[in-house]
Amino acid sequence: MAIEAISKALSTTKKYFWRLLLMTIPYVIIYFALTGLEIYFMKETQIMNLDDIFTSGVSMIMRIVITLITNILGMSIIMGYLLGEKDGHFPLKNAFAVFTRGNTWLISIGYSLLIIVIMILYAGVTIGGIFGIATLLGSFSLNVWLKLLIAIVGIGLIVAWFFLYAYVGLGLQFMYLAYFEAKGQNKHVSFFYGVRASLEMMKGHRWSLFGFKFTLLLVALAIFLLLGIIGIILWAIFAVALSLKILGTIFLILIGLMAFAVFLFFNVWIFMGYAKFYEEIK
């Protein structure tokens, strides 16, 4: 199922690339703008030498806000892709589909917050568990065998906790889209409808979704590794010419543009991939 969804997404992406790209551009612009703002804030706080607690707090809030905005816009694009697939038209307005069906955008914020809370809970328990295990292992009053037992049990619990986190996270992957489609059918549904529908929908498909995500990750790594190798080879071949400042700068700009073009294509492909996967399992 994962490979089929990726393959179908690639075909659709190639067929309607420019229309799909136009829908994705607002997301990309907003993402880079917000990320740039976050980086600028971090640099400024370092220069101003503000209190670390204040800086960390504001930084965390900014990260949560950025995650909320990008999550909602990303889901909105997938919703727009699903709408466009029905008639083969992908107008720019579909990129903001989440804002066209009543309070879907507000519910999407709730879903994003739910995911963020789960992530924070997972990270907090994991870090706390590792710290607790390390503290016990550092105790001089415990013998070697007891420390070994604590280490084995601790690692087992951490691994089990990760799988529980992954199980829940994968199960909630499509709550946004489930709610969006229900609203499109004029159903009167609550916040928890999307949660229940997604968990029900993902029964028996979690491994497929994991494979889907992992495959896309491998493809992304392979593509950018290939770009890096090509850049190194070209630099080696034209080393003398590229040693000139102007030519070297032009070369770096071209490589950067190539990488950015691949990034845009891959973003469209990923969004379409999720839309295709959802269509396969719903």
Domain boundaries, the chain: 2-281
Mean pLDDT score of the chain: 84
Using 50, 70 and 90 to split pLDDT, how confident is the model at 100? confident
Q: Is 70 exceeded by the pLDDT of residue 15?
A: yes
Could you tell me which of 25, 95, 71 has the C-alpha nearest to residue 265?
25
- Please work out, in degrees rounded to the nearest 5, the angle formed at the alpha carbon of residue 66 by the alpha carbons of 123 and 217: 65
Count CA atoms closer than 13 A to 233's CA, side-chain side: 6
**CA–CA dist 207, 36 (Å, integer):** 35
Q: Residues of 261-279 as b/e, b for ≥16 C-beta within 10 angstroms? A: eeebbbbbbbbbbbbbbbe
Could you tell me which of 139, 142, 199 has the C-alpha nearest to residue 171?
199
pLDDT, tens only, 101-121: 878 888 889 999 999 899 989
**Residues sharing a CB contact under 8 Å with residue 281, sequence separation 6 or more, in sequence order:** 1, 174, 201, 202, 205, 208
Helix, coil or strand: residue 236: helix
**Residue 134 CA: distances (Å) to CA of 151, 160, 269:** 9, 18, 43
pLDDT, tens only, 236-271: 666 655 566 666 677 777 777 888 888 889 989 999
pLDDT, tens only, 229-245: 877 776 666 665 556 66
Alpha helices in 138-205 (DSSP H): 144-171, 175-184, 191-201
Q: What's the pLDDT at 183?
A: 87
Q: What's the pLDDT at 58?
A: 73
Q: What's the pLDDT at 243?
A: 62
Q: Is 80 exceeded by the pLDDT of residue 276?
A: yes
Using 50, 70 and 90 to split pLDDT, how confident is the model at 87? confident
